[in-house]
A = this chain, B = another copy of it.
């Protein structure tokens, strides 16, 4: 076995605002993976190449290697801007940008995100997961729900993204539980029944969110509400309001959840309470499948 044969064919990169993950791939298998806390949000354009090499240097041979990246790395404030593709469109079509690199071993392509004019919306990264899901199930017709900091609801038909909506639910949960007065009320535990009650409460009275939040604090002071119940209710109130607004995206639809397992389970639970049946797909595998589909496509078209 020559030394060269242990090197990767190509490298997949998921580069978000707060961190980066990379995988060395050969013949469809992951040879190695790495990650870095140097997300797009902490890097100037001329710092991306060095941050990348810190993670992938051990995987490089002497040959030039293709690298396909998705996520906020392609934002205006990122390494190089990959202009949004406008829906309706393929999740990952043409439009990859190739940033200038100093290291001659690198051949970097950054995938574009998607935009929607009305109502205005954008995504960077999730489009690659959508492409990954469709690579596995090209005939899928339905909705992908991608819970996270900014949860996406995406309508898919005939292999294209038809429309989507973003909800800041995850970021609001983080801010309310870590930075607001509710930080004194919440904790690490969980109360499943409190979550379910809060989902139903918010779906019927979503306008009362800012009042229900304060009630968590007041019930803690007056009635000894547990931190488990407060945490679960905060989450349930936010997800319930989101479900009330996203109703056209889930009512009577095929729904696939793609996200961190714990969070995806919460969405599945909340949707089940509305009688909606969901499937789930692994987020990391879906990202890798999408980057792989883009890699194959770029190889074919180059």
Please indicate which of the listed interface residues A116, A218, A238 has the most CB atoms of chain B within 10 Å of its own CB.
A218
Please indicate the chain B residues that have their CB under 8 angstroms from the CB of A171 in the complex. 180-181
What 0/1 pattern do residues 206 to 222 of A give for CB contact below 8 A with B? 11111101110111011
Chain B residue at smallest Cβ distance from A122: B218
Cβ 8 A contact of A167, one of B84, B210, B218: B210
| Copies of this chain assembled into the complex | 2
**A interface residue count range (under 10 / 10 to 19 / 20 to 34 / 35 or more):** 35 or more
A187 nearest CB across to chain B (Å): 17
Q: Which of A4-12, A46-54, A136-144, A239-247 contacts B (4 or more CB under 8 A)?
A: A239-247
Is A37 part of the binding interface, using a Cβ–Cβ cutoff of 8 Å? no
Contact A210 B120 (CB under 8 A): no
Interface residues of A in 183-229 (CB under 8 A from B): 202-203, 205-211, 213-215, 217-219, 221-223, 225
Cβ 8 A contact of A218, one of B120, B176, B179: B120
Is A163 part of the binding interface, using a Cβ–Cβ cutoff of 8 Å? no
Q: How far is the CA of A207 from the CA of B210 in the complex (A)?
A: 12
Q: Is the interface of A mostly helix, strand, loop or mixed?
A: helix
A225 nearest CB across to chain B (Å): 8
What 0/1 pattern do residues 238 to 261 of A give for CB contact below 8 A with B? 100110111000000000000000
Contact A214 B245 (CB under 8 A): no
**Known contacts A167-B214, A207-B241; can you find 17 more A-B pairs with CB under 8 A?**
A84-B222, A117-B222, A117-B223, A120-B218, A120-B223, A120-B225, A121-B214, A121-B215, A150-B214, A165-B211, A171-B180, A172-B180, A172-B210, A203-B207, A206-B206, A209-B241, A211-B242
